[in-house]
Amino acid sequence: MADVIIRRTGVWVVELERPLLHQGKTIDQVEIKPPRWDQQIRLSEQKITSMLGMLAEMVGLPERLLRELTYPDVDRVMLAFHNVLPPIMRKDFETGAYTLATPIEEVAPADVSDQDDPRFPKADGPVKKFATPPQVNIPKKDPEAEKEVAGLGIEAPEVMRPVN
Write down the pTM of the prediction: 0.61
The pLDDT, as a whole number, for residue 29 is 93
* pLDDT of 39 over the 50 cut: yes
Burial of 141 (0-12, 13-18, 19+ CB in 10 A): exposed
What value does the mean pLDDT take over residues 9-13? 87
Q: For 106-151, give the DSSP string.
A: GSPP---TTTS-TT-TT-SSPPP--SSPPP--PPPPPTTGGGEETT
* pLDDT of 12 over the 70 cut: yes
Residues 6+ apart with CB under 8 A from 65: 20, 22, 27, 56, 110, 111, 112, 115
Amino acid symbol at 30? V
Every domain of the chain and the residues it spans: 4-106
Residue-wise pLDDT for 92-127, tens only, equals 888 888 888 888 777 766 554 444 555 555 555 555
Q: For the CA atoms of 62, 3, 33, 106, what is the dihedral angle to 10 degrees?
A: 20
* pLDDT of 149 over the 90 cut: no
Cis peptide before 143 (omega within 30 of 0): no
Burial of 127 (0-12, 13-18, 19+ CB in 10 A): middle
What value does the mean pLDDT take over residues 71-95? 90
Q: Look at strands 25-32 and 148-149 and give their pairing.
A: unpaired
The pLDDT, as a whole number, for residue 52 is 92
